[in-house]
Amino acid sequence: MFSRLLAPVLLFLSLGFGARADVLPPSAPVEERVRHLLAQMTVEEKVGQLVQYSSRDDMTGPAEQSSITPQLQSGGVGSMLNVVGAAETRRWQKIAVEGSRLRIPLLFAYDVIHGYRTIFPIPLASAASWDLARIEEAERIAAREAAAAGLHWTFAPMVDIARDPRWGRIAEGAGEDPFLGSAIARARVRGFQGDGSFADAERILACAKHFAAYGAAQAGRDYFTTDVTERVLRDVYLPPFQAAVDAGVATFMSGFNDIDGTPCSASPFLLDRVLRGEWGFKGFVVSDWASVGEMLLHGNIADLREGALKAFLAGLDMDMQSDAFGPHLAALVREGRIPESRLDAAAGAILTAKFRLGLFEDPHRYSDETREKTLLGHPDHLAAARDLARRSAVLLKNNGVLPLAGSGLKVALVGPLADAPLSQVGTWRARARKEDTVTVRAALRQLYGDGLRYAFGCDVRGDDTTGFAAAVETAQASDIVIAALGEDASQSGESTSRTSLDLSGPQLALLRALKTAGKPIVLLLMAGRPLMLEPVAPLADAILMGWHPGTMGGPALADVLTGAYNPSGRLPLSWPRSVGQIPYFHAHKNTGRPAPLREGDPYYSRYIDSPNTPQFPFGFGLSYTTFAYDQLRLSSPVLRDGGVLTITVRVANTGARTGEEVVQLYVRDRVGTLTRPVRELKGFRKIELAAGEAREVEFALGPADLAFWRGDMTFGAEPGDFDVFVGPDATAKLTASFRLE
């Protein structure tokens, strides 16, 4: 016992005060470097690595916080969030490294959700591009800018599947589909982390969040309870997280929500059994903001000591802002309630990240003011942001009024989103600057000069209609009206759930007033989610979903409106007709009463006041050209274990201009030991075809692609008959069948 007490004292004296830790050289395997450093650390210093605090300058959650400098200098903090900028990160790093005994550097983290200074379209928008290469490139650029500003780690990608647009955070993800969501999760992780070597200090740690099923919040209300069966959890919500692990994601973030009665941050099922046990995840898990402390409000713990014990033993490694791990874990280890091996595993995972980032060789490696000045907002970055934004826009309706005619046209641009630089960049705008954003108004002004007439019209909230008269006058004096309506940035993202998804404030009334001018109307929708268009669509001759398109959203949407770019975006979610239909998603079950048994039979799954179908289906989007599908062929009518079925379809551009099409493959398992979805996305290809060009597109399907979580909770496919559907969206009609034996 005595030697146990004496060892840390002798060690402390031998190392002296403030002396650098004895760290093995970079040539040594990182596991050895970690073990060697852990052996020098006291229990308190190991616990310190598990503590994350926010800077007070940019709090992204509710908190009272006094200065944390004393904890930094005692080695009691392992990471900070919301410290940004080369100078500021350097300053805090000096405090931590030079003031502490072992001089272990901090990790600096920030929410780089869709760009750092150059803001890309919100993630839901870029998901609508179905362009994995450009999505990856956007994250590479975001990482490059964030890294130059001293950041080591982003709390992204958010990979939560969302099927309820009342939930404002649908804006941050990739929509409703596990297959598309998994592909995008992999692309985003690759973009942030590259090959994971972090050799060039231009990549940062990624973070798959919010683990798990946060998007299944009951009633679409943020932070609310989620209650899904384990099968739905595994079939729908977990796949994008597993995809992130497969792509080598360095960290995870546990969600705020309680799932099946257990808060995610203390869920052994999620954090240990699935994440480590089944998926072999080797990184570390940080809690979402104060979510360990919030277990008190969940009514799941009596005090923070119990919260620290429960969450840490469940598999949580780092406590963001709760003050649970810092004050309690060391005592719990000394009491033997927590094995020191678990503490070593958690602290070791965090130290591993710091070694991988090269921070022990140079703690200020990422805080480079010269690079910061040259890289942030670089013209190449802005060009990439414009390109992705235009590829993300989805043309939902067009009576032929788009693309706009060229110069000489008199254009009335009206509405609260037309000249809204901060709303245009959407939620989680990181370090966007108002002056960098090129608005729709600025872009169209550039194109049409004095031919462009602008009127604000009204706000997105309130009932002030005093701007209507000027707006209608502007419309009357023009050839065509572009109504830029939707949501401002405060109506989208975290904690912005809505019970109504109608155009808010007097916007619909403005649209109706504009209609009286008798000119064609293009509705340019700019929002973080689908808004309900049943009363709106008849008023518009064209509808373009521009989302919140980011810094270069103005020029990007102008490119689409004028035809400089032929729109190729496709919906990553089903667009409900009304809130009453929610949740609506394409991979729904058939039910026992999918349709009337006979003419007039009322007893089937329906509403008496609405069709069952969505306003627009998953995968939908129009182009300025047209495409046709035919010659669907299967390589065999039978697929056997170990075999591959090749599915070939011919796609032709039957219009008059080059365009891109997202060819989508859906599969239906006709009969299963469990009820199966009527369709599931199992492949997609985005291709470009010149006018008149036709091309064969191939997909490959193996038995593993047909697997699901079966009745006995094993994952696998079942023999039987399957249908494939290939086409431009989830209602694809071209079909063929095969048998899995």
CB of 51 to ligand GLC, least distance (A): 15
Residue 236 carries which DSSP code? I
Helix (H) or strand (E) holding 334: helix 325-334
Nearest-approach distance from CB 494 to ligand GLC, in angstroms: 6
Please report whether residue 111 would count as binding ligand GLC according to CB under 6 A. yes
What is the smallest separation between the CB atom of 389 and ligand GLC, expressed in angstroms?
23
Partnered with residue 645 across adjacent β-strands are: 701
H helix or E strand, kind and range, residue 330: helix 325-334
How near is the Cβ of 244 to ligand GLC at its closest, in Å? 15
Residue with tokens 């970055």: 381
- Binding mask 441-480 toward ligand GLC (x if CB under 6 A, else -) reads ----------------------------------------
Restricted to residues 52-71, the positions that interact with ligand GLC (CB under 6 A) are: 60-61
702 belongs to the binding site for ligand GLC (CB under 6 A): no
In the shown chain, the binding pattern of residues 480 to 519 toward ligand GLC, with x for contact by CB under 6 A and - for none, equals --------------x-------------------------
Burial class (CB in 10 A: 0-12, 13-18, 19+), 60: middle
* Residue 364: strand pairing partners: none
Check if the beta carbon of residue 575 is closer than 8 Å to that of residue 530: yes
Q: What span, in angstroms and rounded, lies between the C-alpha atoms of 405 and 479?
A: 10
Residues assigned a catalytic role: 288
CB of 207 to ligand GLC, least distance (A): 8
Near ligand GLC by CB under 6 A: residue from 155, 198, 448, 468: 155
Residues binding ligand GLC: number (CB under 6 A) = 9
Q: Is 419 or 494 the residue whose CB approaches ligand GLC more closely?
A: 494
Say whether residue 153 binds ligand GLC (CB under 6 A).
no
Beta-carbon contacts of residue 5 (< 8 Å; ≥ 6 apart): none
For ligand GLC, the closer of residues 50 and 522 by Cβ is: 50
Supply the minimum distance, in Å, between the C-beta of residue 112 and ligand GLC. Answer: 10
Binding residue for ligand GLC, selected from 136, 202, 288, 718, defined by CB under 6 A: 288
Q: Measured from the CB of residue 286, what is the shortest distance to ligand GLC in angstroms?
A: 9
Q: Does 176 bind ligand GLC (CB under 6 A)?
A: no
- What is the DSSP pairing of strand 542-545 with strand 645-653? unpaired
Considering the complex, what minimum distance in angstroms separates the CB of residue 196 from ligand GLC?
21
The tokens for 347 are 């602290």
Q: Nearer to ligand GLC by C-beta: 62 or 602?
A: 62
Transcribe 457-492 into DSSP letters: ---SSS---TTHHHHHHHHHTSSEEEEEEE--GGGS
- The two tokens of residue 474 are 């502007």
By CB under 6 A, the residues from 74 to 93 that bind ligand GLC are: 81
How far apart are CB 288 and ligand GLC at their closest, in Å?
Answer: 5
Cα–Cα nearest to 706, from 695, 685, 720: 720
Closer residue to ligand GLC (CB): 96 or 158: 158
Residues 444, 522 contacting (CB under 8 angstroms): no
Asked if residue 289 binds ligand GLC (CB under 6 A), the reply is yes
- Which residue, 81 or 249, is less far from ligand GLC as judged by CB? 81
Token match 């800018």: residue?
145
Provide the mask over 548-587, with x wherever binding to ligand GLC is found by CB under 6 A and - wherever it is not.
----------------------------------------
Residues 206-235 contacting ligand GLC, CB under 6 A: 209
Residue that is written with structure tokens 């080369």 in the block: 86
Q: Please, which residues have CB within 8 angstroms of residue 402's CB and are 6 or more apart in sequence? A: 395, 522, 542, 544, 561, 563, 624
| Choice between 223 and 456, CB closer to ligand GLC | 223
Asked if 372 contacts 144 with a C-beta cutoff of 8 angstroms, the reply is no
Give 162 or 338: the residue with its C-beta nearer to ligand GLC: 162
CB-nearer residue toward ligand GLC: 155 or 684: 155
| DSSP for 154-203, written as a single string | E---B------TTSGGGGGS--S-HHHHHHHHHHHHHHHHTTS--TTS--
Distance between CA atoms of 230 and 523, rounded to whole angstroms?
42
Cα dist from 174 to 207, 240, 490, 574, whole Å: 15, 10, 20, 12
SS3 696: strand
| Comparison of 155 and 624: residue with beta carbon closer to ligand GLC | 155
Where on the chain is the footprint of ligand GLC (CB under 6 A)? Answer: 60-61, 81, 111, 155, 209, 288-289, 494
